Amino acid sequence: MNCKKCGSPLGPNDYYCGVCGEKVEKEGEAVVTEPVMKNNTALTLGIIGLILGSVVLGILAIVFSKKPNASNAKTAKILGIFAIVRAVIGVFYAIFVLPGMIEDIRAQLEVGSIIINYLLAF
């Protein structure tokens, strides 16, 4: 084996070329690449955002899912979208449905109290 930089012959146990000092790359030795740390932030934000129905967490989940090291980026993005949709439905529900339901319950209680008063009169 020869140095790939200067071509000098290398010994089998040489780690550096004795002539030019170039680092010897052993054949068949796997090139060690830094394992990319997968980041669960986007996914976590998406799940919590969906549970809480939070627009902010949903948007954050989508933002973090765009980071190159985000794990399950697609899932995180979908969860983020669902979190926002759920929050919007929650607001819609609170504004339009809940007051009607409260009104219904109040009306039923009124009818109930009228009946009870009627029964107590006897």
Q: Does 5 contact Zn ion by CB under 5 A? A: yes
Contact 81, 58 (CB under 8 A): yes
Q: Does 1 contact Zn ion by CB under 5 A? A: no
Q: Does 91 contact Zn ion by CB under 5 A? A: no
Handedness of CA 52, 55, 56, 60 (dihedral sign): positive
Nearer to Zn ion, 8 or 108 (CB): 8
Fill in the per-residue mask, 8 to 47: x = in contact with Zn ion (CB under 5 A), - = not in contact: x--------x-xx-x-------------------------
| CA-only gyration radius of the chain, Å | 34
Nearer to Zn ion, 22 or 63 (CB): 22
Closest CA to 90 of 44, 49, 60, 54: 54
Q: What are phi and psi of 79, to 5 degrees?
A: -60, -40
Residues that bind Zn ion (CB under 5 A): 3, 5-6, 8, 17, 19-20, 22
